[in-house]
Chain A
Amino acid sequence: MDRRKSIKAIALGTVGAGILATACNPADKKEDTTAALPAANFDRTPEEAARDNKIAADKFLTEHELATITVLADIIIPKDEVSGSASEAGVPAFIAFIVKDMPHYQTPLRGGLRWLDVQMMNQYNNAFKDCTPAQQIAMVDQIAYPEKAKPAMSQGVQFFNTMRNLTATGFYTTQMGVKDLGYMGNQPNQWNGVPDDVLKQYGLAYSEKELKECISFDVQK
C-alpha cells in the first residue's frame, strides 16, 4: 500500500487494512511476552502472590507497542560511559507490568503510541519503530522539550513526559540504575555522621553537644 493510501485509510477511520492497522491489530499479533514472575524473595501473603502472578500473566501491550516502547526507552536512556541502556536494564518489561498494575496508564500510553505512529505515518509512511533512527529522533525532538514544543505537539509532549517518567523510574530502580546513581545504602552499616570532607565542603560542623551525645563508631575514614 502506498503512503497516500494508507494516510487516506487512517483519515477515513477505516483501520481494517493498511500497514498501521495490521501492525497494531492485537487479534493477529502475539501480545507482550512478559514471562510469569519468578517467586518473590520477600514477604508476600498468598493473596498478594496470586494477584501479582495474575497481573504478570495478563496481557495488555501488543508486541508492536512493546517494540515501540523499547525504541523510545533506549532513546530516553541510552547506554553511556556510566551504565547501559533502558532495554538492557529490562525497562520494557517493567512498563509492560506497571501498565497492568496501574490501569490509569493504559489509555494514555496506548493512545500516545498510536498518536506517535500516526505522526510518523503521515511524515514517513512508516510506524515509529520502523522509521530510521534519524527520523525517530527528528520526531522525538518535537515532543521532548515541553517549553519549546509547538502547540500542535502538546499531546505528544504529554505522552513523552509519561514515557520519560516510566523509563527513568524503570531504569533507576534496577541494579544497573542504582549503581549508576551511586546509592550506597541498603546494607548493614554504622552511621557515623557526614564525612568530614563533605562537612567542610558545605561549611558545616557538628556541635560539641552533638559530638558528645550522639552515637559514634570507631571507623577509620
Chain B
Amino acid sequence: MGDLQIKKTPKQYDVVIVGSGAGGGMASYVLSRAGLKVCLLEAGPMYDPAKNITQLKGPWESPRRGASTNFRPFGDFDACYNGWEIDGEPYTHKDKTEWRWWRARMLGGRTNHWGRISLRFGPKDFKRKSIDGLGEDWPIGYEDIKPYYDTIDKLIGVFGTNEGLDNDPDGIFLPPPKPRLHELMIKKAATGIGVPVIPSRLSILTKALPDNKDRKACFFCSQCNRGCMVYGDFSSSSVLIKPAMATGNIDVIANAMAREVLTNKEGLATGISYINKDDMMEYQVNGKVVILAASACESSRLMLNSKSQRHPNGIGNSSNVVGKYLHDSTGAAMGGYLPNLFGRKRYNEDGVGGMHVYTPWWLDNKKLDFPRGYHIEYWGGMSMPAYGFGFGIEGMNGKYAVAGKTKDAGGYGAALKQDYRHYWGAGVGMAGRGEAIPREDSYCEIDPNVVDKFGIPVLRFHTEWSDYEVKQAKHMKETFREIMHEMGAVITWGDDGPENNYGLDKPGVIIHEAGTARMGSNPKTSALNKWNQAHDCKNLFVVDGAAFTSQADKNITWTILALSMRASEYIISELKKNNL
C-alpha cells in the first residue's frame, strides 16, 4: 500500500454535491449563485455540447453509420456516455429478476440523454394513496411545488400549450412547433376515437429566452439527443452548471467516483470520500452540507455503503427504506407504416428533437382494471437514415404496388432502389409511458459478495412488475391498435399479447428510476422529509429521483428540477439560521 494514501482537500466547502444531472445541476446553480462555496463531484468526464459535438453530422461520418455501441447504446451520435453496462462496474440481480440500470457518466448525467419531455406532476399525482389506496401520498402537494415549476419554466424554457387539464397543469410555455404530417394523421385518428392529442411539452427553445444571451433558439435539426451546440435545449451541463461555474463559487471535480458519505461522531455528514479515476488515488472533500444527486439507485448505494456507529444501516436509513420502492415508468410500444404516405413529397420535416404532439392520460382508473395512467409518445416520418435503414424490406415490398406494379417480395437492382425510395418516410409508431406502483419488495440493496473495480460494494436488484402494470400495458396495446387501425396504418411490430406481458419493457428500461429514498412525513416509513432532507441526518439531502414517493404518468425530470431548487433554497435559508 506504499503509494496509496488518502488526500484530504483542505478547503472547507459549504456544500458538496455528488452528481451533475438535473438534481445536482440545479443545486449547483442555485447554491453557487447564492454565494455558497460548492464542490461538485461527477463520476464521468467534463462535457460541453458546444465542444463535444455530434450534432449535424451525416450518418456516413460514423463508420457504423450511427449504430449503437456499449459506450453509446442509443447510437454512435448520441450525446450520452455509457449506459447499460460499464466495464468494471457490475450490478447483480436476485431471484432471476431483471432490472436494467442506465448509468450516464459525464457532466450533465442523464440530461444528455433524455427526450426533453418536461411535464409537471398534477395535483392528483401527489395524493395517489388517498385516491386509490395504493402506495403512499407525498408529504407535499401541487401547491407547494407550483412556484418552482413556474420559475423553472421561465429559467430553462419549455414549449407547450395551456389546455386547462385537471391533472396536467398549465405552465409558462413557449410556442410549440406545428405538428408534422404523420402527427396530424395521428391526431385526427386518435381524437376520432376519444384519445386526446395536444402539443407536446419539451424543454426546447422555439424562441430565444428573454434575458439569456448564452442560449440561442432551436434551429430545428431534430437532434436534441446529440446535445445542442447553441444550447437550444435543456441539458444540465449547458443550462445550469456552466452559469454556476461562471460565478466562481463552484469547483467541479470530474472523474470523481464517490465512495462514501463521511460522518462525524454526532452522525452528521462531513463530506464525501471519492476515487479520482484519473490517478486512482483516494480523496476526501469536506462540506457543511452534503447533497446526493447521483441517480436514485446510485444515491441509495452511497447511503447504504456509508455505515457508521450512528448509522449502522447506512446513512439516513434508520427506517430501512433506502433502496426500497424502486420503480421505473412502464413502457410498451407499437409501430408500422402508413401506406398512404408511400411516395410522399420530400421536404425538410426534422422539426424539434422529438414529438410535436402527445397524449396525456385521459381516462378514469375507477372504470378500469388497473390503478394508474400513462401518456403516449409518437414518432414517424422522414427522419435521417441510419444503420438499420431498409432492413427487412422483403417483408413489405411484395405487398404494395410501386409505380403501378406489384413485384415479388425481396428482389434486387434498380427496381429495389425504387422500393426504398417509395417506402421511405412512411413509418409511424407510438409508445406508452405509465405509472407503476412503488412496492417494498421492488428494491436495490448492497450485494454482500461483489465489489466494483474501485472496491465499492455494488447494487443487487430485485424488481418485478405486478398485474397492475401488465394490465396497463395491455390497455396501451389496445389503444395503439385502435389508433393504428383508425389511421389506416399497417402494424409491423409490437402487436403483443399475454405471451410476453403485452410487450411491457423490463423494469429500468425506460430510465425513469425513482423511489429509493422516498420522502414522507413519517421517519419510520420514509428516508427524507418534505425538504429532501434525511430524517436521520439534517445536513444530508437527496435531490434526484430517489426522493420520489411515486412518479406519476409523467417523465420525472421537471419535478427533480423543481424539488432540487426548492431543497436548495431551503438549505440556503437553514444555513443562514445556523440550523445545519
Interface residues, chain A, with chain B CB atoms under 8 Å away: 37, 40-43, 45, 47-48, 51-52, 55-56, 75-78, 80, 82-83, 94, 97-98, 101-102, 140, 144-148, 157, 160-161, 164-165, 168-170, 172-175, 177-178, 180-195, 197-199, 201-202, 204, 206, 210, 213-216
Contact = CB atoms under 8 A, between A and B. Distances in A.
A40 B66 CA distance: 13
B77 A144 contact: no
Given A76-B416, A101-B67, A169-B390, A189 B181 contact: no
B181 A194 contact: yes
A165 B416 CA distance: 12
Interface string B531-547: 00000000000000000
A216 B79 CA distance: 29
Contacts of B389: 168-169, 172-173
How many B residues touch the partner, as a band?
35 or more
B421 interface: yes
Interface string B340-357: 100011111111100000
B45 interface: yes
Contacts of A194: 178-181, 184
Interface of B: 45, 52-54, 56-67, 69, 71-72, 77, 79, 81, 159, 161, 174-181, 184-185, 188, 199, 206-207, 219-223, 340, 344-352, 382-394, 398, 408-414, 416-417, 420-421, 424
Nearest 8 interchain pairs by C-beta: A168-B390, A193-B178, A185-B350, A182-B346, A173-B59, A188-B219, A43-B52, A173-B65
7 contacts: A144-B410, A169-B390, A174-B60, A183-B384, A185-B350, A186-B384, A202-B184
A66 to B, nearest CB: 16
A77 B344 CA distance: 22
A47 B61 contact: no
B394 A188 contact: no
Nearest to A213: B161
A181 B425 CA distance: 9
Given A147-B409, A186-B56, 16 more contacts: A76-B413, A77-B417, A94-B63, A101-B69, A102-B64, A164-B394, A168-B391, A169-B387, A181-B385, A183-B384, A184-B346, A184-B347, A184-B349, A185-B383, A206-B179, A210-B179
A185 B56 CA distance: 9
B505 to A, nearest CB: 22
A144 B221 contact: no
B221 A188 contact: yes
A202 B185 contact: yes
Contact of B63 (A56, A190, A197): A56
Contact of A197 (B159, B175, B345): B345
A191 B220 contact: yes
